[in-house]
């Protein structure tokens, strides 16, 4: 089964929206790693600059301080960036600054050794960029900048036509091609894994028919809200049931029944968009409302009942709702049980209404 799903996914390119979602997710997960990479790059550049400037006799110049300050500033800015697109732009700027700084440093070396150092610097820059959460254009732009700034045949005495130049060119092309290929291959694998994990999560936490959260998702998210918000705030749990749903299935068939479920789920989603909601199973749904007044809950439930009742469809339905206030000592399961008792009262009092749980319903 898993192999079949993998084969099916591999046949289709990820839509742009999913690619953007993946890029943002990848950047958020690797933001600290990006800062570490920048810091390590600055340290290596500084060490290299100190060694070369010391041997060359010019010392640590004001220009070196300017480059150092610029790269440190970019690294600090990275800490405030939250969007992957902004990181793409920032990385291009960082690559432009550090490659120019490297080029100026290498120009202080003997002419014979410059091409080798330029090739190594290019490979290092490309490798660093390939492991960062960059988009295609940002990586390719970084590769072009590195290729132009650190060209081993530019401003050097090495010719492509001689044996040494040919060897350097082959090594340069091999390292660059391998790194670029690795970036695209790694990015494709990471996008594929993200797509697979998102699909599996959706299957585990989203109801396939109505495309709203299922019971597992509801219990997790509602429990999280209950733990996060103080019990002094009002918490309400609602159990929702479609009236006479079995008769609809028996009379019109399961296709119509499925359509009714989808319409009801759509109404719940529209009215309860700011709250937690789910399909618990069958024709039962649940809603968790927190941080609102009793009057607001009344208004929400009244709106939901009216929206379902007045839905202009060939097979109209109504819903019954049972509500329970989550008290300070209640668990989520206890609140569900209380809401279910209130739902029973709504069902036996004429349907198409909502009822709040009271202590005397326990009997």
Beta bridge partners of 324: 237
Mean pLDDT lowest among 134-138, 247-251, 306-310, 342-346: 247-251
- Count CB-CB contacts under 10 A for residue 189: 10
Mean pLDDT lowest among 72-76, 127-131, 148-152, 337-341: 148-152
Is residue 322 over pLDDT 90? yes
Q: Report the candidate in 86, 181, 192 with the shortest Cα–Cα distance to residue 140.
A: 181
Exactly one of 21, 232, 276, 283 is catalytic; name it. 283
Q: Report the candidate in 279, 276, 270 with the shortest Cα–Cα distance to residue 289.
A: 276
**pLDDT at 219 (0 to 100):** 92
Is residue 323 over pLDDT 80? yes
Is residue 7 over pLDDT 70? no
pLDDT band at 167 (very low <50, low <70, confident <90, very high): confident
| Strand pairing report for 284-290 and 319-325 | unpaired
**pLDDT at 307 (0 to 100):** 94
Domain ranges for the chain, please list them: 2-203, 215-362
**pLDDT at 16 (0 to 100):** 85
Mean local confidence (pLDDT), 18-26 = 91
Span 252-294, pLDDT tens digits: 898 999 999 999 999 999 999 989 999 999 999 999 998 888 8
* Token code pair at residue 134: 């960059």
**pLDDT at 51 (0 to 100):** 82
Q: What are the distances in angstroms from CA 91 to CA 26, 36, 81, 109?
A: 15, 13, 11, 27
**Coil, strand or helix at 43:** helix
pLDDT band at 9 (very low <50, low <70, confident <90, very high): low
C-beta of residue 158 within 8 angstroms of C-beta of residue 212: no
* Structure-model confidence comparison of residues 38 and 3, the more confident one: 38
CA distance 135 to 187: 9
Q: Pseudo-torsion of CA 261, 264, 270, 273, nearest 10°?
A: -70
C-beta of residue 38 within 8 angstroms of C-beta of residue 27: no
**Coil, strand or helix at 283:** coil
- Model-level pTM? 0.74
pLDDT band at 13 (very low <50, low <70, confident <90, very high): low
- What mean pLDDT is reported for the chain? 88
Indicate the CATH number for domain 215-362: 3.30.70.270
Q: What are the distances in angstroms from CA 96 to CA 60, 62, 114, 361?
A: 21, 19, 19, 72
How far does CA 33 lie from the centroid of its chain? 17
* Token code pair at residue 199: 């699909």
CA distance 227 to 274: 18
C-beta of residue 239 within 8 angstroms of C-beta of residue 335: no
**pLDDT at 21 (0 to 100):** 92
**pLDDT at 305 (0 to 100):** 94
Mean local confidence (pLDDT), 234-245 = 92
Q: Report the candidate in 167, 55, 49 with the shortest Cα–Cα distance to residue 115.
A: 167
Q: What are the distances in angstroms from CA 210 to CA 108, 217, 269, 280?
A: 68, 14, 10, 11
Span 113-127, pLDDT tens digits: 888 888 889 999 999
**pLDDT at 8 (0 to 100):** 61
Q: State yes or no: is 283 an active-site residue.
A: yes
* Planar angle of CA 292, 294, 295, nearest 5 degrees: 100
Is residue 332 over pLDDT 60? yes
Mean pLDDT lowest among 102-111, 174-183, 345-354: 102-111
**pLDDT at 42 (0 to 100):** 94
Residue located via tokens 């079995």: 246
Percent of the chain with pLDDT over 70: 92
**Coil, strand or helix at 239:** strand
Mean local confidence (pLDDT), 6-23 = 76
* Structure-model confidence comparison of residues 154 and 302, the more confident one: 302
CA distance 233 to 292: 8
Q: Where are the beta strands (DSSP E) in the chain?
A: 235-242, 276-281, 284-290, 319-325, 354-356
C-beta of residue 271 within 8 angstroms of C-beta of residue 308: no
CA distance 132 to 33: 8
List Cβ neighbours of 245 (8 Å cut-off, separation of 6 or more).
257, 260, 282, 283, 317
pLDDT band at 4 (very low <50, low <70, confident <90, very high): low
Mean local confidence (pLDDT), 104-133 = 87
Mean local confidence (pLDDT), 98-120 = 86
pLDDT band at 109 (very low <50, low <70, confident <90, very high): confident
pLDDT band at 41 (very low <50, low <70, confident <90, very high): very high
CA distance 92 to 98: 10
Where does 131-277 have alpha helices with state H? 136-149, 163-205, 215-228, 245-252, 254-271
Is residue 341 over pLDDT 90? yes
* Token code pair at residue 66: 């300017």
Distance from the first to the final alpha carbon of the chain: 48
**pLDDT at 56 (0 to 100):** 58
**pLDDT at 1 (0 to 100):** 55
């Amino acid at each position: 089964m898993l192999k079949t799903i993998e084969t099916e996914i591999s046949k289709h390119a990820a839509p742009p929206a999913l690619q953007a979602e993946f890029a943002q997710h990848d950047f958020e997960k690797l933001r600290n790693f990006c800062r570490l990479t920048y810091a390590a790059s600055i340290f290596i550049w500084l060490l290299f600059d100190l060694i070369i400037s010391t041997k060359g006799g010019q010392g640590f110049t004001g220009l070196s301080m300017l480059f150092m300050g610029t790269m440190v500033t970019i690294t600090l800015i990275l800490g405030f960036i939250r969007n992957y697109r902004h990181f793409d732009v920032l990385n291009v700027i960082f690559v432009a600054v550090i490659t120019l700084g490297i080029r100026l440093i290498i120009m202080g070396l003997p002419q014979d050794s410059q091409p080798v150092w330029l090739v190594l610097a290019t490979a290092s820059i490309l490798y660093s960029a390939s492991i960062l959460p960059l988009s295609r254009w940002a990586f390719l732009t970084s590769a072009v900048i590195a290729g132009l700034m650190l060209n081993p045949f530019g401003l050097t005495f090495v010719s492509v036509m001689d044996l040494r130049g040919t060897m350097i060119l082959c090594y340069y092309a091999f390292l660059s091609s391998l790194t670029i290929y690795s970036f695209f291959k790694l990015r494709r694998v990471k996008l594929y894994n993200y797509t697979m994990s998102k699909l599996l999560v959706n299957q585990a936490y989203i109801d396939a028919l109505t495309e709203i959260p299922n019971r597992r998702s509801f219990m997790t998210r509602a429990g999280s809200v209950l733990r996060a918000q103080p019990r002094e705030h009002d918490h309400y749990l609602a159990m929702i049931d479609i009236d006479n749903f079995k008769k609809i299935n028996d009379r019109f068939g399961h296709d119509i029944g499925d359509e009714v479920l989808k319409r009801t789920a759509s109404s719940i989603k529209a009215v309860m968009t700011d709250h937690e909601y789910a399909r618990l199973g069958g024709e039962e749904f649940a809603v968790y409302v927190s941080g609102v007044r009793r009057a607001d809950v009344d208004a929400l439930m009244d709106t939901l009942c009216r929206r379902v009742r007045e839905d202009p469809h060939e097979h109209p339905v109504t819903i019954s709702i049972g509500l329970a206030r989550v008290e300070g000592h209640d668990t989520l399961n206890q609140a569900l049980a209380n809401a279910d008792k209130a739902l029973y009262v709504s069902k036996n009092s004429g349907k198409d209404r909502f009822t709040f749980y009271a202590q005397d319903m326990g009997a």
